[in-house]
Chain A
Amino acid sequence: DAKTTQPNSMESNEEEPVHLPCNHSTISGTDYIHWYRQLPSQGPEYVIHGLTSNVNNRMASLAIAEDRKSSTLILHRATLRDAAVYYCILRDDSNYQLIWGAGTKLIIKP
């Protein structure tokens, strides 16, 4: 079964870019790469997703390696409100299953 591997935690300074890595070496061709984040005492929140090409939205950018075995979530200018656990997730387009990574706790220093 496919799985994702993420660092347990990362620290960054406020107003600097943050690069959150994820390895998914056993990804299959139909798996989408999703990122969700979970702020303290809240449910997970969608951040971004992609299949093969890099993606940008108002929250973040997703850079996907050419072989799709890894990806990086990029927060261009972190704020204190971005402190959360960020989950890298694989989703098979054919069903409702999400394969969650263990999550990276992002700490933002003022």
Chain B
Amino acid sequence: DTEVTQTPKHLVMGMTNKKSLKCEQHMGHRAMYWYKQKAKKPPELMFVYSYEKLSINESVPSRFSPECPNSSLLNLHLHALQPEDSALYLCASSRTGGNTIYFGEGSWLTVV
């Protein structure tokens, strides 16, 4: 069982909607990640938070807005998405400097 919990598992949203994806971990990890994965492709890194501060933004469009309210929670706020943003969004966490990254099961997003 994964120790990184993502909600919701499935989300359908219109292009004018505002929604959020949520992620939670209680392993004491201080690095948290958002990845995007399209079908039959490896995950692509979007954002990295280290000690609740954004440390990596892989040139992600501003319609994706990450937030790290505390060391256990990570959100991804979605606004004015495009159909091509439909994908599996994976949250992950690790110890800073740690070698193992723990992934959640992902949130399947469909933009209509």
Contacts and interface: CB of A to CB of B under 8 A. Distances in A.
A97 B45 contact: yes
B100 to A, nearest CB: 5
B4 to A, nearest CB: 8
A98 B45 contact: yes
Interface residues of B, number: 23
Interface residues of A, number: 20
Contact of B42 (A34, A49, A101): A101
Contacts of B45: 96-98
Contacts of A96: 31, 33, 45, 48, 50, 55-56, 94
A41 B107 CA distance: 10
Contacts of A101: 42
B100 A46 contact: yes
Interface of B: 2, 4, 31, 33, 41-43, 45, 48, 50, 55-56, 90, 92, 94, 99-106
